Structures are given as C-alpha cells and as structure tokens.
Structure 1
Amino acid sequence: MKWLNVLGQHGGIATLRQLVDERVTARELTAAVREGRLLRPRRGVYALLSAPPTALAAVAGGGRLSCVSAARSYGLWGGVDGRLHLRVPSHATRLPADNSVRHWVDSDRHRECWRVSVADCLRSVVACASRETAVAVLDTALSSGLVTLETVNDVFAHQPRSARAVAGQSRPGSDSGIESLVRQRLESRGHIVEQQVHVAGVGRVDMRIDGVLYLELDGYAYHSGREAFERDRARDAALALAGKRLRVSARQVLEEWEQVAALVEGVLVDSENRGMGSVR
C-alpha cells in the first residue's frame, strides 16, 4: 500500500495531487475509502484513520492548523486557549466551526495541507497569542531542538519590531510551557532563574532561583504510580541536603500563581534572614 507511506510522510493527510505525484492511483484511493481503510475529509484530500482530529477538522473546514493549534501539532506548548486556530484562504467558501479562530491569508501553499510550517506557526503565535504564551511556545521549540536561536532570528528578521522583541525573550531550557511561564514570571519580578541545573546526587533540576532555591515543576500526568512518587521523594530528600527546595504543580502555576510566587519569595526571604545569602 504505497499510499500508506506517502500519507505518513505528509503527517497523515495529503492531497490527491501529492499522492498521484508519488504514483498512487485514484482507483487505489477510492477503493481504500470504500473499504474503510482511508478517510476523505473533503474532496481531493485523503487521510489515515489515525490522523489527528484537529487536523481533520482543519481540512474539513477548508483551512490548516495555525498559531497555538499548529504549535501543539509540533509537540510544543499550546497555552490554555483550546479554540481551533486555522489559516484560511481569503477566497474560501467552506468556513470552519464557529469555535475556531480564523487567520485569513491571500494565498496558502505548503507541503502539508493540514498545518502551516514551523516558521509560520511561530510567527502566527507571536502575532495572535499573549506575549507570555508566545515566549513559552518559542522556548519549547528551542528546547525540543525543532529550531535554534539562529533560526528564530531568521524567522523574525523581517517582522515588526514588536514581534522581534517578543522573539528576543525566548531561550532554551524550558522542557515544558509551564517551566517557561515560571521562568518568565519570576524574572519579571526581578529574580535570577537558572534552568536545568545539575545537582550532585540528584541530577538535573528544573530551575534554581537566585542561586538558593531549587524548584521542581510537576506536570498534569505526574505521580501516576508508586514508583514515580517514591522517585520524587528521593529527589526531594537529596535536594534538601543541597539547599532550599520546593515542588509545585502545573495546576498551581496556572491557577494559583500569586500563592506560588509568595511561597517562592517567602523561602528566599527566609534564606536571607538565616544568612544563606543570595546571588542577586
């Protein structure tokens, strides 16, 4: 089944033209759709049964994933905006669902028919999302190796000064969007944040604040079993020997930030009062 390999190379969804160019016949595709082995979300477009639902929705609506929706498709932070962000040609007659955000363009061609390129994704995030979300997307793109700092500079070289300023705040080190949010928020409060710090006997720690406080951030799926729980307790014990330490969850960062910030700064003040000092 050659169409299986071709679709895989295009992320699970491809146009008839792309498939025919790889010597897949229309007869093969029609038979596969009839037999339930392929989907046809719209005329002239074919998709694997495993294609992401958001991608299928984008294609069915005549657009492509853009902004934070495209960011998620690349494995990056997508913020808390759950709406479907689509790039839609200005001449489109079939409009996406009402809960979508439409990014209109005069023309739109790319190798993948269901999402924008990485460069377009990053530019649209900076143009559409909040500054904090945009920096977090860029941070996770850098940390994942999807782009480099040089690539980011090239992507935004001809963008407005405000967009270049946002891009200039990004840096590698955040393994998750939550880590980036914490880094940004603490730095805006005047703290020095070091990320992915190696601690003897512990390994890599998410961040160290003002050279004193080690901070660990748990994702939504953390502590899924006894083994993970015990591993965290062992890390906490080792970090206790290295200095001050805190562990907070993604939910706390997103929903209780002021309490988290107060806790962090309370520990730092306590450290200063005890004569531990600070690198600030």
Structure 2
Amino acid sequence: MHHNRGPATPTVLRRSNGRYVPVEAAVDPVELAFEVALVKLDASDLIVVGDSIVQRGLLTITEIDEIAASYPPRIRAAVRRINGFAESGTETLVRLWLEEMRIPFVQQFMFRDSQRADFLLGRGLILEVDSVAHHASREQQQKDYNRDQYLRGLGYVVFRVTYDDVMRNWKFASEQLMLIIQRGEHLKIPAFRRGAR
C-alpha cells in the first residue's frame, strides 16, 4: 500500500462554465482543494482524502457528491466510496482492502460501555488500525493494550495493525489476518453475547 508521489505540478481546473480557475493561494478553500484531488489523485488516495474531509466536518458527503457531479464516471465511482467514518488514512486504506477482499465488516463498531472499535469482522474479530498521530504516546499505547485485554475478556479476537504494517508491511500483516479468518475465528460469537441471541 506504499504510495510514491512525483514532484508537484501546478494545477488549473476548467469549470463547467468554461472558465479556468488557477490554484494560486497557499491555502485554497477546501472545495477547490478537493476538486484538485479529483483530477490529481488515484482512486484510493482520493477516498482517503475524502474520508478525512468528511470526518473533520469540512464538507459533507452531499457537498462532495455535488463537487464531483460533472466529473467522469470513474471519479464519481470513487467519490461514492467515501463514507467519512475513518479516523485516519490508514483506516480508510484497510477498509478499501476489506471491501476488495469481500470480507464483511462493521466500521466504527460500538461494543459494551459505548466504546468503539475500528472494525468488527464477522461476529467476533476486532480489527484496530493504529495511526502514528493517535497511538504514538506511551499513555495511548497503554490504553490500547488495556482495551485489547478488555475485548479479549469479552471473548473477541483482537488484531491490531500499525501505520507501518499498513504502509510498509501490508503483505505480511494481511496474510496473518487472513489466517485468522480462514480458521473461522471471526465467526465465533463472543462469550458475553451467546446468551443474548
């Protein structure tokens, strides 16, 4: 999942009214920046950017759809995959992989005590995606460790991947995740839920 980007080149957008709009400012309005993303980024990077924009409340899904409405079908298809649930770019990349592999999941799964996990795969496999920004401190790592213990105590299988796993070691990490799925561990109902069928 490693992405290489070449040198930046100036972008000029042609609006539907035929006028050209040069991108000149150091910080463009988010609508214009997203429009540049529509023409410059590949589908997965566009979805990552779109998820981030929606998650941060900078634009809504409706606004993003409206901006993309006059673009070619392949771009609109990518835009339709933006959901705004991901709290990091790596989480979006993992979601796209899960969709590609046709692995059923719930994103931002709510479990006991109103806590959230990044993904629930099947009925009993929690997949957590740690970004660099939110999981770098010792304190946050300890919270993650304690949460994993809590989830295991409830009967979930927990699989945690780091930024480096997603961006540099995805082949290995995804193979390990697939081994768990192939054994059917994701289908096991956690012990605390068995009585609540």
Above 0.5 in TM-score?
yes
Tell me the C-alpha RMSD between the 2 structures: 2.5
2:40: which partner in 1?
128
Q: Aligned pair 1:266/2:179, yes or no? A: yes
- Percent of paired sites with the same residue: 22
SS in 2 for 1:153: helix
Structure 2 unaligned regions, length at least 5: 14-18, 190-197
**Maintained 8 Å contact 1:201/1:238:** no
1:161: which partner in 2?
73
Q: Aligned pair 1:101/2:9, yes or no? A: yes
CA distance in 2, matches of 1:166, 1:271: 31
CA distance in 2, matches of 1:152, 1:127: 14
1:173: which partner in 2?
85
Once the two structures are superposed, residues 3-48 of structure 1 have per-residue CA deviations (whole angstroms, 9 ceiling, x without a partner) of xxxxxxxxxxxxxxxxxxxxxxxxxxxxxxxxxxxxxxxxxxxxxx
Q: Aligned pair 1:216/2:124, yes or no? A: no
Q: By how many angstroms is 1:179 displaced?
A: 0.4
Once the two structures are superposed, residues 158-185 of structure 1 have per-residue CA deviations (whole angstroms, 9 ceiling, x without a partner) of 2222211111111121011110000001
Alignment of structure 1 residues 167-246 onto 2, 5 Å:
167-201=79-113, 203-221=115-133, 222-225=135-138, 227-242=139-154, 243-246=156-159
**Maintained 8 Å contact 2:152/2:158:** yes
CA distance in 2, matches of 1:153, 1:170: 10
Change (3 A) 1:201 1:270: farther
SS in 1 for 2:118: strand
Kindly indicate which of the two structures has a greater share of residues assigned to helix.
2
Q: State the aligned residue count.
A: 181
CA distance in 1, matches of 2:106, 2:11: 36
Structure 1 unaligned regions, length at least 5: 1-78, 84-98
1:145: which partner in 2?
57
SS in 2 for 1:102: coil
**Maintained 8 Å contact 1:202/1:239:** no
1:248: which partner in 2?
161
User: What TM-score does the superposition give when structure 1 sets the normalisation length?
Assistant: 0.58
Change (3 A) 1:158 1:100: closer
Large movers: runs of 4+ above 6 Å: none
| Larger radius of gyration between Structure 1 and Structure 2 | 1
SS in 2 for 1:196: strand
Once the two structures are superposed, residues 60-109 of structure 1 have per-residue CA deviations (whole angstroms, 9 ceiling, x without a partner) of xxxxxxxxxxxxxxxxxxx95566xxxxxxxxxxxxxxx43221357447
Higher RCO by CA contacts (8 Å cutoff, separation 6 or greater): 2
- Paired letter, 1:115: V
CA distance in 2, matches of 1:148, 1:202: 25
User: What TM-score does the superposition give when structure 2 sets the normalisation length?
Assistant: 0.80
